[in-house]
Every structure is written in C-alpha cells, then in structure tokens.
Amino acid sequence: MLLKDEEIIALFFDRDEKALTETARKFGGYLKAIAANMTDDKRDAEECVNDAYLAAWNSIPPKRPQSLKTYLTVLLRRCAIDVIKKNKRARRIPKKLFSPLDELADVIPGEDADSALDERLLTDIINSYVSSLSARQRYIFISRYYVNRSAAQTAKKLGVSKSTVDKELVQIRAGLKEKLLKEGYDL
Amino acid sequence: MNRQEKKELLLSAVSGLSEDNISDFVKYDDFLTQKPGYEPVIRPVLRVVGAAAICAVVLGSLFLGLKYIEYKSDIINSQTTEAAESTEEEKPEPVSEEEDYAHRFDWQYEYDFEYDSGSMPGDYMYNDAMVNGCTLLLKRNVHTGECTPVCTVPSCKHDSAECPFYGTTCVVGIGNIMYGSMKDEKLGKWVVYSYDPETDKKDIIAESAAKIYELISYKYYLYCKRVDTGFTRIDTKTGEFTKVRSQYDYSVSSIHSGMMIWSKDSSGSPVYVSTDLLGENARSYDPHIFNGKLHKVIENADGSSSYAQLDRSGKIEKIMAEDSCYAIPIGENMLSFGAYTDGETHWIDPDDHSKGRRLANGDIYITPLNGGESRLLCHIDGYEPRTAAIACANSKNVMICGDWIAIMTPQKISDNEPGNNNRMILLNMKTGEYHISRYTE
C-alpha cells in the first residue's frame, strides 16, 4: 500500500531512509517518465531521478512541501538542468530538452540588444502569463515546456487529438508574444 | 542573441516557473488520470441490465464513429456514466477578501448542526491508524479510552492481508453500519466495504481499480473519493451510484446542511465554496456564520487572538473566548483553546524553533454558538492542539459518538508513530471528562 504524502514527509523528518523507498514506490514511475522526456540518455534520466531523491532528502526538513509530487517535479527539473550543464561542458548537449523550446524561441525578442530580456525578467513574465492562463492551458504549457511531453503525449492525457493540442499551443504562444509586447518588447 | 542563446535563456526562464503553477499542473495531471469509474457490486439482474446498457452505449457509439468508448465503457451504472460525462472541473469564484462583512450574509446558509449524522450509536468510535508501519482499524471505547482492533479473528496479528481489515484507509459510520475502504489483495482492487459490528458481517459494496482514499458520510449517503476520478456518491439505501462534479483545485472539507463544503488553501488562508450534494451550483461560502452572526478570530493589540462574534457591519458584538489559539465549531458549540499568558515564549519543539511557537496552555473552553457564555470545559496538561489535529473530529463525521468527540494529539510523535492518528483524546463535550486513547500491542 502506498503511503500518504504526509506519512512519507514524516519519514523524511524522522530521517528514516524508508522515505526514499516509499517516494520511489509512489512517484518513481512518474518521475522516470518525465526524466526520459528531458534527457536523451537512459542513464542521464536515472541520474536525474536519483539526484531528485537526494535533493529531497537534503531539503526535507526543513522544507515541508504541501505536495510531494509537485516538489519532486520541481527538483527533477532542476536536476535535469544540472545534468544538461554537465553534459554541455562535456560537449554532449541533449536535444530533447531544447526541442520544445524551438517553438517558444520565436516569441521572445530577436537580435536587438536593447530589447534583450534578462533571465529573471523573462521568468517573471512567463510566470505571470502562465498564472493567467486557464487551468487547461496552463496544463498544456507546463506539460510541453516544463516536463517536456510531446503534443501527442499531452493529447492522450487530455483525451483529444494531437492537432487540438497543437492548435492550443499556437494560441498559448501567441498569447505570450502579446504579453511580451504589452511589457514593451518589440519583436 | 542567436537562436541557441534564446533557447538557453528560455530553458532557465521556464525552469523558474513558480511552485504554484507546477502544483496546478500536477493536480490537473492527477485529475486527468480519470479513466474507469466505480464498479458497484450489484445483484446479477442489475449486472445484466448494466451490461446491456454498456452494450447499447458501445454499439451506439460505434455507429456514430466515436473513438472514446474506452474511457466510459467500464462504468456500469447508468447514472454514474451520465455524471461522469459532466465532470469537467468547475472553477468557482472565491470568497471576497473585502473587509466589508455585510456581503457575506447575501449567501448565508444556516449551519443546521447535522454534524453527528455520520456517527454510530453505541460506545465506540472507529478510525484507521498507523501503528508500527501497519494500518490498523481501531475502535475506542469512549467511556474508558480502551483502544482495540476491530478485527475479531482469534490470534490475528492484523499485519497482513489475512486480516479482514488490513490496509483500511478510511472509515465512517452510517446508522449502525460502518463503512471502510481498503485494497483487497485477492481481488487486486480497492474496495468499499460495509461492516456490521453487531453481527460481525462484512460485505463489499463497490470495487475500484484506483485507490479510494477518502470516505465521507452524510445522512444515508456515502461519498467515496478515488484518487483519479474524484467523488462518487453511494446511496446506501438504494445502492445507487452517482458521480459528483469535481471542483478543480478544491477538496471537500465537510458535508452538512444539504451542502458540500469545498476548500482550498490560498496562501495560508483557506477559501471556501459550497455546492449542492452532487457538486453542482458552486458559490462562495463562509464557514464562520452561525445563527446569523459572523464568528471570527481577531488579533488583539498585544499579539494575542480572541474569538469574537461580529455583526453584519463587522463590528465586534461580543468576545466569546479571549486569548484563544484555535476555535472550532463542533455541533452546537465552539471549542476554543486557551493560550499561555505568562509572557514566556513557548515553542512547539524546544529544539526546533522552525516549528513555531507553542501557543496553547491546555485549557479547553466551550462556547454555545447560540450566544451563551463560554466556560472552561477541562484542562489537559501538556496538550497543544493544532489545526490538523482538530480536523479529525470536526467536519467529516468520523470520530463523534454521542457527546464524545475525538481529537488527534500530534505530540510525542517521536516515539516511532509515523502518523499521528493513533493517539487520540476522547473528550466529553458536556462533562469535560477525557481519556487519552492509543493502541499499544
């Protein structure tokens, strides 16, 4: 039987290593699937998942996440970025994590240095934009650009066709473009 | 900035999405994992009728060329099917944060004190509790505090699937019958069962492929929450199953007065909405209005809190409990918990101040919600209630038996109790008598 989130968190707080096995039992499949979307290599995916477990172990306590699954998703993304940085240094740049961003790259300002966005500002704008989306659109955006699911995977989850998701992604990107324009960035 | 640089910028920027947004995604993801509905355990005749209905749906759908049969075909009960089609989440409007209280009465509902509709008559309360890594189904004698397993199988250790109640995750009472949910290892499914303590008879009333992790009773209705599809209501008189519309991002905090009360935590302060008993017609709700008066915990100038009754304009009419840490409605009364007033800082955990200040001094007051005077009900030395601890007895009709209520005690969880639902205080709301109740092997 799978433990409840609060029971697993209690194990983390008790520094009981069973916390990790229970976390893996409950969320392992989900995390491995996401990690596989983010990396090109099975070993990298496993490394990301293990790093996420370790990061959870090191941060709980004092952190007491409200949703363990959410927290692990965030940790996994961070770990994936770290793995990418490591691979980049080794000139082994993973394509999977970048391919969805190809679609997004068109909405941010171009070569004009004056309109270049810094990372923090862009994060704030994207955050604000994603918060303003409907629950469904937010789900589609994060599904595609944060956990790197393909449009087909997202469509399957939603029970709609891939073309429907593609159309919605076009609308979402158009909305982000508009938001950036409103913020004063000419494209 | 070239394209690769843009993508690297986006990689970092998207990674900085807030936890709130990711949390929404995760919840929606869980919500979408809804496939099979409940499979009620029904009589063979009904099963045949149900199967025929499915065939009709399948054939009809094939005829129309629909491709989504898979999603709905395993839902036997026709009413469940109908409702399942309309489970698109509803995003209700939250309660206004304005400090003008008058508007709150526009949609006021009277609390009708049906709090004990789910309790069972007799001398026992029932709950599932984690003991030494195993979930046990326990009963507690309210007069003595004695806590024993519900299982009556001789020499059963209650630590394997051999125990008829092994793995029970939630339990409620309706009339003389207790209802629980557990994973049935033989069926390989989650089941909802009924159990008659008098006859020791246990029957499976519903099966589910996905985990059932919440049961709430209201009158003769049993609300079962599956991890994927949300709530289904079972009419225990007729056996009828009806899907309840989900309120996206909200969970049910109680069912009373003909309403389902849903809440979500919004930056530390819960937001409530009410719906009808099938999750429809969502509207704002304030759970703090009793007998036409708004009740609220107010901050005093010295940093302490008091429990006050306010009029429609928000003006304080009466302080009902001074220096109160927590105040919770239970039936026709409000329980409030006194605070230390000795000027010292009392930490919840003296070795870990991050857990916050210890606030309650062990005094428990009771205040009639009809405007009567507060009185000291009892003093439980060393007991500091916390919000989660109180919820047990309060709204979900789980741990109430006559004048007795149960409150979880989160203290001393360091003695290897992973959960805190084993140790309970059984408290008589009339006499103030109490027992500390916990199961020890």
Spatial neighbors of B138 by CB under 8 A, at least 6 apart, are B126, B127, B128, B129, B147, B148, B149, B150, B422, B439
**Is B25 a residue whose pLDDT tops 70?**
yes
pLDDT tens-digit readout, A124-148: 888 888 888 888 889 999 999 888 8
pLDDT value at residue A150: 86
For residue B225, list chain A residues with Cβ-Cβ distance below 8 A. Answer: none
Q: Which residues of A touch B65 (CB under 8 A)?
A: none
Q: Specify the range with the lowest mean pLDDT, choosing from A80-89, B216-225, B236-245, B270-279.
A: A80-89
What's the pLDDT score for residue B416? Answer: 44
pLDDT at B233: 94
Mean pLDDT value across residues B28-39: 57
Position with higher pLDDT, B265 vs B400: B400
φ/ψ of residue B318, rounded to 5? -160, 135
A110, β-bridge pairs: none
* pLDDT tier at A87, thresholds 50, 70, 90: low
For chain A, which domains are there? 5-89 (1.10.1740.10), 99-182 (1.10.10.10)
Contacts of A110 in chain B (CB under 8 A): 1
The residues that bridge with B262 in the sheet, in sequence order, are B252, B273
pLDDT of residue B370: 76
Q: Which of A4, A117, A127 lies closest to B21 in CB terms?
A: A127
Q: Which residue has the higher pLDDT, B76 or B373?
A: B373
Q: pLDDT tier at B86 (50, 70, 90 boundaries)? A: very low
Q: Does A91 touch chain B (CB under 8 A)?
A: no
From A131, which residue of chain B is nearest by alpha-carbon distance? B21
Q: Indicate whether B49 pLDDT > 70.
A: no
Name residue, tokens 């429907």: A164
CA–CA gap between residue A38 and residue B195 (Å, rounded): 48
pLDDT at B134 over 60: yes
Q: Looking at residue B234, what is its pLDDT?
A: 94
Write the pLDDT tens digit of every residue in B232-283.
999 999 989 999 988 877 788 778 778 888 887 655 566 778 889 999 888 8
Q: Which residue has the higher pLDDT, B425 or B81?
A: B425
Task: Tell the burial category of B356 from Cβ atoms under 10 Å away from its Cβ (0-12, 13-18, 19+).
Answer: exposed
Q: Minimum mean pLDDT among B45-59, B240-254, B307-321: which range?
A: B45-59
ipTM of the modeled complex: 0.81
| Per-residue pLDDT at B242 | 92
Question: B17–A142: do the CB atoms touch at under 8 Å?
Answer: yes
Average pLDDT of chain B is 70
At A100 the pLDDT is 80
Q: Which residues are B337's β-sheet partners? A: B364
Give yes or no for residue B312 having a pLDDT over 90. Answer: no
pLDDT of residue B35: 38
Contact B9 A123 (CB under 8 A): no
Mean pLDDT of B34-50: 40
Rg for chain A (alpha carbons), in Å? 18
Average pLDDT over residues B351-372: 74
Contact B14 A146 (CB under 8 A): yes
Chain A residues whose beta carbon lies within 8 Å of the beta carbon of residue B248: 135
Per-residue pLDDT at A1:
66
Which site among B9, B33, B70 would you substitute to test the A interface, given the most A Cβ atoms closer than 10 Å to its Cβ? B9
Contact B14 A102 (CB under 8 A): no
Quote the CA–CA distance of B212 and B28 in Å, as a whole number: 18
pLDDT at B289: 73
B25 to A139: CB separation less than 8 angstroms, yes or no:
yes
Considering only residues B372 and A1, tell me which one the structure prediction assigns the higher pLDDT: B372
B51 vs B419: CA distance, rounded Å: 42
More confident residue, B296 or B433: B433
Q: Using the predicted structure, report yes or no on whether residue B396 has a pLDDT greater than 50.
A: no
What is the token pair recorded at A100?
A: 């969805």
Q: What is the pLDDT of residue A11?
A: 87
Question: Which residues neighbour B88 within 8 Å (Cβ) at sequence distance 6 or greater?
Answer: none
φ and ψ at B91, to 5 degrees? -110, 95
| Residue among A7, A142, A146 minimizing CB distance to B419 | A7
What residues of chain B lie within 8 A of the CB of A2, using their CB? 211
- In total, the C-beta contacts within 8 angstroms joining chain A to chain B are 133
Scan for tokens 């496939």, then name that residue: B35
Q: Which pLDDT score is estimated for B117? A: 37
User: Which residue of A122, A149, A158, A183 is the best one to mutate when testing the B interface, meaning the one whose CB has the most B CBs within 10 A?
Assistant: A122
Please state, for a pLDDT cut of 70, what percent of chain B lies above it: 64
- Identify the sign of the CA torsion B123, B128, B130, B133: positive
- Residue A149: what residue type? R
Residues 6+ apart with CB under 8 A from B238: none
Distance from CA of A10 to the nearest CA of B (A): 6
pLDDT given for residue B277 in this prediction: 93
Partner-chain contact B12 A69, CB within 8 Å: no
Across the interface, do B91 and A135 touch by the CB < 8 Å criterion? yes
Q: What is the pLDDT of residue B194?
A: 94
CB contact under 8 A, B135 and A105: no
CA distance A175 to B225: 36
Report the residue of chain A nearest B21, measured CA to CA: A131
- Return the pLDDT at B350: 66
Distance (Å, whole) CA B192 – CA B203: 9
- Cα diameter, chain B: 77
Residues of B in contact with A136 (CB under 8 A): 28
Residues found in chain A:
187
* Predicted pLDDT of residue B65: 42
- pLDDT tens-digit profile of B151-160? 989 999 888 8
> Which residue of A61, A81, A110 is in closest CB contact with B15?
A81
* Residue range B103-113: mean pLDDT, rounded: 33
Using a CB-CB cut-off of 8 Å, the residues of chain A touching B413 are: 10
- State the pLDDT confidence band at A28, using cuts at 50, 70 and 90: confident
What string of DSSP letters covers B128-167? EEEETTEEEEEEEETTT--EEES---TT--SSSTTSTTTT
